[in-house]
Amino acid sequence: MEVYSEGEKAKNHKPIIECPDSVKAGEEFEVRVYVSGHPNKVEHSIRWIEVYFEEDGRDFNPIMLSRSAFSEYVNPNVTLKVKLNRSGKIIALAYCNKHGLWENKREISVTE
């Protein structure tokens, strides 16, 4: 399956990741992932969002943080409480039943 991150349809398909640029090791913070401006109809809707963390220096990546499924009655929006010990990348995938799989990534720095 091809994963999209750019192009004409990215505006209302690509998941948006909101989180701090930097956090302290072991301290809880929020990560919000959502898709904005997407029609939510039976024939065209975001069906799920998955959120992963790719930890710097870890052999086995990425780590799944969350998977949320949606019906056409729900706006695709997920908020997680996360604690990290190392820097890395938050990765979000959103699946549209009409236009496939969309990806976004965001670097996050962890300080002592």
How far is CA 101 from each of CA 43, 78, 91, rounded to the nearest angstrom? 16, 17, 13
- Residue 35 φ/ψ, nearest 5 degrees: -120, 125
For the segment 91-98, the average pLDDT, to the nearest whole number, is 97
**Sign of the C-alpha dihedral, residues 105, 35, 74, 33?**
positive
Q: Mean pLDDT throughout 60-72?
A: 96
Query: Residue 15: pLDDT above 90?
Result: yes
Domain boundaries, given as residue ranges, for the chain:
3-111
* pLDDT of the residue at 2: 81
The CATH code belonging to domain 3-111 is 2.60.40.730
Alpha carbon distance 102, 84 (integer Å): 25
Percentage of the chain modeled with pLDDT above 70: 100
CA angle 110, 76, 19 (to 5 degrees): 15
Residues 6+ apart with CB under 8 A from 59: none
pLDDT the model gives residue 8: 85
Q: Is the pTM value of this prediction over 0.75?
A: yes
pLDDT tops 80 at residue 1: no
**Mean pLDDT, residues 88-92 taken together:** 98
Q: Identify the bridge partners of residue 81 per DSSP, sorted by sequence position.
A: 30
Q: Is residue 92 within 8 Å of 18, Cβ to Cβ?
A: no
Is the pLDDT reported for residue 4 higher than 90?
no
How far is it, in rounded angstroms, from Cα 85 to Cα 14?
Answer: 27
Please report the pLDDT score of residue 98 as a whole number: 94
Does residue 109 surpass a pLDDT of 90?
yes
